[in-house]
Structure 1
């Protein structure tokens, strides 16, 4: 089934609309921040789906997913969920959130239709410092446990969209038809690249391929997060970045931050002011692409 059409019965009579939450002092003030918090409080029921992918591995995709989800969990009054959809038994979201239970995405597969009850998901999800719910990937390959198939994954996502206001999927690199299909279903397709000439060129080749298979709208509506790997950015990188900016819907460079560079759980309060500002811009670009009822 098309997961973009799932979850339309989400909290009927209990829409995500609520008075906007106060903006934490770490995020400052101003029209940019206020607009994000206002629109986040007015999300239309139906649980927009944010799919995060890349042209390469090792670009900081899982890091960006958790950091972005952390900001959105602060701004959206109703809980937000992130799902490890990488189909790997290592890495992913597992290392970016503090584990409070051994539960994984495989347990969500086994839970089946009961996932429509948010209390069931709450028992399976890890919870980040800002309230982001995270279903981490399955790290054990046994006769009883394994990473889910694409069909099982989207069955889980369909049920989650009945219980949550917004869902983020940490996808694998977009080098398979299944990953492309997920990006086509997304309310907000996102890509992550390193701030290097090679990574940005690979991303632009991926965007060209997506257009060639009829996914032009995915490219035009996409948000591209460029993860800096040092405090300075070479002129050649900025030139390629400018070319990429003309291809996607919105591009944000996330500055180098030693906290994000470490393979540890992400706490937004420990990030620099510039990094938090960039993440707010990414979150605003995401919410601007989600249906709202202001």
Structure 2
């Protein structure tokens, strides 16, 4: 370390010593004024140099000196340059880029939105309430389990396994459901008319009409009507519990005032299966007055409110009512008994129809073989069936039933199981022959 000091003379040093010696003795009494001379020490230390660490140098920004100065625009000279292009280049017109084609995504089986719904297609025309069907609204994929099976063994296994094993319906249940599916066949294009006829009385024509109508009404969900069009006094209304005294004559007289179904219900009787029955004239003096025109009025009225109309025809087939009935018929049911003469008369009925321009109805006809008549046990029913199979579309055998043999009110729930199955089979066969769509 270098020390720079002043060199006092010898006299000054002696005086200083004397002054220091007297300072202690005179300090308590008189304080002398400080000397005008002073001693100054000056130290020259090296300037510390700080070295920048490597981690700071890596992120440091170099200092660049900026010389900011003011530029006077007036002192600047302006130079203009003009040039003439040697040639003009014509650019081609811009072509709009082609829109990118985005392929459509494949259909999604499950909803993709947050609430599990997809955007449905909106039809241009307003929809009716009948278009809100269960098949359209219910999500079939969310049905976790099949319906419970029917059948003793199937239901037992289903219950014991706590609904884990579902064997499905039994064979008989599957047959019954298939039969019901045939009966509930849907139609478009107007009412379907099915006459029940024969040339001989006493073979159970009215009973077959009641059984057919009850089976249809009990299985189907639409409206079924049975019309007693017998020019003589018919007994169809006596097969159910009558609720009104009105007949076909009242419908003809009040046709202009029966505008709604509620008003039409006042002239018909309804049984436990929801079958509506329109009775024939009960007065023998005016029964012959029911003719072709009257039947057309009744049929037009039934066509406004019902899906299927079954007509119980009279024993004769040459009267005018039969002509109007056959003109509206979509299919026919021929009733035959189990005796020789009854079967022969039923076959002659088919022949008469073929000769009078109704061959198509004969090919599509159904023969109901009533085995409750006398002499059935002595006749080969198989031979009768073989005969009719060569002429008509189908044959259904109706067994004997005590509830039908009395000729009184028929309670569909009280019929034997075989009789009820025969009625369902007859209804299914008749429905098979009716056209689903009719344009005329």
TM-score by length of 1: 0.83
- Asked whether 1:208 is paired with 2:374, we answer no
Deviation at 1:52, TM superposition (A): 0.7
2:310 corresponds to:
168
Does 2:155 match 1:155? no
Residue of 239, 244, 249 corresponding to 1:96? 239
- Determine if the alignment matches structure 1 residue 49 to structure 2 residue 193: yes
Contact 1:82 1:170 in 2 (8 A): yes
Contact 1:95 1:265 in 2 (8 A): yes
Count of matched residue positions in the alignment of Structure 1 and Structure 2: 270
What residue number does 2:423 align with? 279
Equivalent residue number for residue 326 of structure 2: 183
Relative to structure 2, which stretch is displaced further, 28-37 or 257-266?
Answer: 28-37
Whether the 8 Å CA contact 2:296–2:324 is kept in 1: the answer is no
Per-residue deviation at 1:229?
A: 1.9
- Residue 43 of structure 1 deviates from its aligned partner by 2.5
For residue 261 of structure 2, what is the aligned residue in structure 1? Answer: 118
SS at the partner of 2:346? helix
SS at the partner of 2:309? strand
- Show the counterpart of 2:56: none
For residues 14 and 265 of structure 1, what CA distance do their matches in structure 2 show? 39
Distance 1:45 1:92 in 2: 31
Q: 1:230 & 1:38 partners in 2: Cα distance? A: 29
2:147 aligns to what? Answer: none
Structure-1 separation of matches of 2:316 and 2:177: 31
**What is the CA-CA distance between 1:115 and the residue it aligns to?**
3.8
Is 1:224 aligned to residue 367 of structure 2? yes
Kept in 2: contact 1:188–1:286 (CA 8 A):
yes
Are the counterparts in 1 of residues 209 and 226 from structure 2 also a CA contact under 8 Å?
yes
1:250 corresponding residue in structure 2: 394
Deviations 1:106-132, CA, capped at 9 Å, x for gaps: 111111144452112211111111010
Deviation for aligned residue 1:75: 1.8
Q: Which has the higher contact order (CA 8 A, sep 6+)?
A: 1
Matched, 1:137 2:280: yes
Over 3 Å counting, the alpha-carbon distance change for 1:212 and 1:142 in structure 2 is closer
Q: Structure 1 pair 219/184, CA: closer, same or farther in 2 (3 Å)?
A: farther
Does 1:268 find its partner at 2:412?
A: yes
Q: Residue 167 of structure 1 aligns to a residue in which SS?
A: strand
Rg comparison, structure with higher value = 2
Helix, strand or coil: the match of 1:50? Answer: strand
Residues in 1 aligned to 2:399 and 2:211: alpha-carbon distance in whole angstroms: 13
CA contact (8 A) 2:198 2:205 kept: yes
Q: Deviation string for 1:154-188 (max 9, x for gaps)?
A: 21111211111111110112531532552343011
Counterpart secondary structure, 1:122: helix
Q: 1:276, 1:215 → 2: CA distance? A: 31
Give CA-to-partner distance per residue, 1:127-160, whole Å, 9 cap, x none: 11101000111212467x8762221112111121
Q: Note the aligned Cα RMSD (angstroms).
A: 2.6
Counterparts of 2:258 and 2:361 in 1: how far apart (Å)? 29
Q: CA, structure 1 residues 204+176, in 2 after alignment: closer, same or farther (shift >3 Å)?
A: same
Maintained 8 Å contact 1:141/1:147 = no
Q: Distance in 1 between matches of 2:242 and 2:313?
A: 20
Number of the residue aligned with 1:109: 252
Range moving further from structure 2, 236-245 or 268-277? 236-245
Q: Contact 1:36/1:287 (CA < 8 Å) preserved in 2?
A: no
Change (3 A) 1:81 1:147: farther
Is there any run of 5+ residues in structure 1 with no aligned partner, and where? Answer: 1-12, 20-24
Partner Cα separation in structure 1 for residue 386 and residue 197 of structure 2: 20
